[in-house]
Amino acid sequence: MHKNINIGIIGLGQIGSRLYEEILSKKKDIGIKTGVNVNILAISAKNINKKRNFKFSKKIFYKNPIYIAKDPRIDIVFELIGYSDGLSKKVVELALKNKKHVITANKALIAKNGDYLSSLAEKNKVNLEFEASVGGGIPILRTIKEGLATNKINKVVGILNGTCNYILSKMESSKDSFANVLRKAQILGYAEPRDPRFDLNGYDTLAKVRILSALVFNNKISKNNCLMNGIENIELEDIKMADKLNFRIKLLGITEIINNQLFERVHPCLIKKDTYIANVNGVMNAVILEGKPVGQSLLQGEGAGPGPTSSALMSDLLSILRGNIKYPFGLPFKKRKKINTYDKNQYLNSFYLRFDVKDKPGVLSSITKVFTKNKISIKNLIQKPDKKNKTASIVILTHEAREKNFNSLIFNLNNNKSVKKKSTFIRIEKV
């Protein structure tokens, strides 16, 4: 005789609607694997009259999702609305306080409120699961919490945003501009149609990096002012130049411990073409973990979309149904520490820069003086004159320099009268 467990799904958009169908179609399989009979007893979305691609009884539709979070009949609540605060935070908070397990795909919510919500889950002895918030279908969080539970991990590097990876890969393969490829990504549903800003500017990746850091380093979720640059300023010219120099451009999220301090960053990187991560293309995500004693582990898979995301949500559901009641971040809230932040100004790195200058005598020497003034030495300089416009495009690869010197260099270059267009810069990363 199977035990009955009742589910409420809040949010029936791309993810919620796919999950609804997934649970119904796998009901029998779930019963066999867990001994539990699951029932979807409540659903909620903003608009009850919206045309949806699945049939449901209006009797189970709650106009106000707060009542799902409070309903004593519900055992597990899925929060699939989105946003870091507001209604999504409210329903998760209420559900946990009412001793319901919560499963969410909402990285913004977890990156901002994960500490508070996880302590609430622990207090009420229920689960807060968020596998779908990082890496889509890649079971990265469960791998860290369970498969690699006793490893000491010192660095995680990832391609964590499928939209950005698609855009950068497609610009290279189609030799098309950033704007055109972004438009294509929006048509294909890979980028938000209205406002793709949070994907492109690195914010989405940073939220995932913060969640990963908390898991691998057992720290409270950091609120630091991290090093974050997006891909909005990458032009086809940079993609072509990277190709010529045997590099590929990727937006990476990186978290590591340097001198016992936490360094989290998100920025476009020039990576040697023959490396593993440089060959993760399209909407794929990938994560590289370095741990002891395991060594290096690589995980790759589709990073977003209803299929991979619902796969992760279902794994959270089955984990709960199997009675795996555990700490949301792998250890008790009180044991999680606050790790001091690494001073990003001290970070040592090499850079690629591209900028246009007036093509006239003396300009190049004035530019190289700016580098000397900022104690940055040039490794490679490529000059491409544009006779028609009397300008020249300059590409420079530097030797390693401190972030603070580099920032001052960029400031000086952008204020130099001979520089016609603000410089594009990309960090060169050894992965």
Ligand X SMILES: NC(=O)c1ccc[n+]([C@@H]2O[C@H](COP(=O)([O-])OP(=O)(O)OC[C@H]3O[C@@H](n4cnc5c(N)ncnc54)[C@H](OP(=O)(O)O)[C@@H]3O)[C@@H](O)[C@H]2O)c1
Residues noted as catalytic: 208
Which pairs from 377-382 meet CB under 8 Å and 24+ separation? 377/401, 379/350, 380/245, 382/241
Token code pair at residue 100: 């319901």
CB nearer to ligand X: give 138 or 171: 138
Is 44 one of the binding residues for ligand X (CB under 6 A)? yes
CB nearer to ligand X: give 55 or 337: 55
Is 282 one of the binding residues for ligand X (CB under 6 A)? no
Name the closest residue to ligand X (Cβ): 13
Cα gap 298→279, rounded to integer Å: 13
What are residue 290's DSSP bridge partners?
155, 296
Cα gap 330→153, rounded to integer Å: 14
Which candidate, 418, 275, 288, 307, places its Cα nearest to that of 359?
Answer: 418
Residue where the block lists tokens 């690589």: 298
Cα gap 383→385, rounded to integer Å: 6
Cα gap 376→250, rounded to integer Å: 24
Least separation, in Å, of the C-beta of 14 and ligand X?
4
Q: By CB under 6 A, name the one of 1, 25, 32, 47 that touches ligand X.
A: 47
Question: φ and ψ at 223, to 5 degrees?
Answer: -120, 20
152-159 and 36-44: which strand pairing? unpaired
Least separation, in Å, of the C-beta of 11 and ligand X?
4
Given a contact cutoff of 8 angstroms between Cβ atoms, the answer to whether 378 and 368 are in contact is yes
Least separation, in Å, of the C-beta of 105 and ligand X?
4
CB nearer to ligand X: give 17 or 255: 17
Token code pair at residue 388: 């028609």
Is 105 one of the binding residues for ligand X (CB under 6 A)? yes
Cα gap 50→17, rounded to integer Å: 12
Is 65 one of the binding residues for ligand X (CB under 6 A)? yes
Q: By CB under 6 A, name the one of 25, 28, 50, 53 that touches ligand X.
A: 50
Least separation, in Å, of the C-beta of 82 and ligand X?
3
Q: By CB under 6 A, name the one of 30, 36, 80, 141 that touches ligand X.
A: 80
Least separation, in Å, of the C-beta of 133 and ligand X?
6
Given a contact cutoff of 8 angstroms between Cβ atoms, the answer to whether 78 and 16 are in contact is yes
> CA dist 380 to 35, 186, 431, Å?
64, 37, 21
- Range in contact with ligand X (rule: CB under 6 A) among 105-113, 233-241, 271-279, 323-331: 105-113
What are residue 297's DSSP bridge partners?
289
- Residues that bind ligand X (rule: CB under 6 A) add up to a total of 24
Is 216 one of the binding residues for ligand X (CB under 6 A)? no
Q: By CB under 6 A, name the one of 106, 127, 163, 310 that touches ligand X.
A: 106
* Cα 350-351-352 angle, rounded to 5 deg: 145
Cα gap 301→160, rounded to integer Å: 10
Residues near 10 by beta carbon (within 8 Å), at least 6 away in sequence: 16, 43, 44, 45, 65, 68, 69, 77, 78, 79, 80, 81, 91
Applying the rule CB under 6 A, the residues between 133 and 152 that interact with ligand X are 136
CB nearer to ligand X: give 253 or 291: 253
Is 128 one of the binding residues for ligand X (CB under 6 A)? no
Is 117 one of the binding residues for ligand X (CB under 6 A)? no
CB nearer to ligand X: give 309 or 398: 309
Applying the rule CB under 6 A, the residues between 308 and 347 that interact with ligand X are 309
For 161-246, list the strands marked E by DSSP: 227-228
Q: By CB under 6 A, name the one of 14, 186, 279, 407 that touches ligand X.
A: 14
Question: φ and ψ at 5, to 5 degrees?
Answer: -130, 130
**112 alpha carbon, distance to own chain's centre:** 14
CB nearer to ligand X: give 283 or 428: 283
- The letter for the amino acid at 180 is N
- Range in contact with ligand X (rule: CB under 6 A) among 43-51, 249-257, 336-344, 370-378: 43-51
Is 13 one of the binding residues for ligand X (CB under 6 A)? yes
Binding pattern to ligand X, positions 284-313, x when CB under 6 A? --------------------xx---x----
CB nearer to ligand X: give 81 or 269: 81
- Range in contact with ligand X (rule: CB under 6 A) among 46-54, 289-297, 349-357, 422-430: 46-54
Is 16 one of the binding residues for ligand X (CB under 6 A)? yes
Which residues in this chain contact ligand X in the complex, by CB under 6 A? 11-16, 44-47, 50, 65, 80-82, 87, 105-107, 132, 136, 304-305, 309
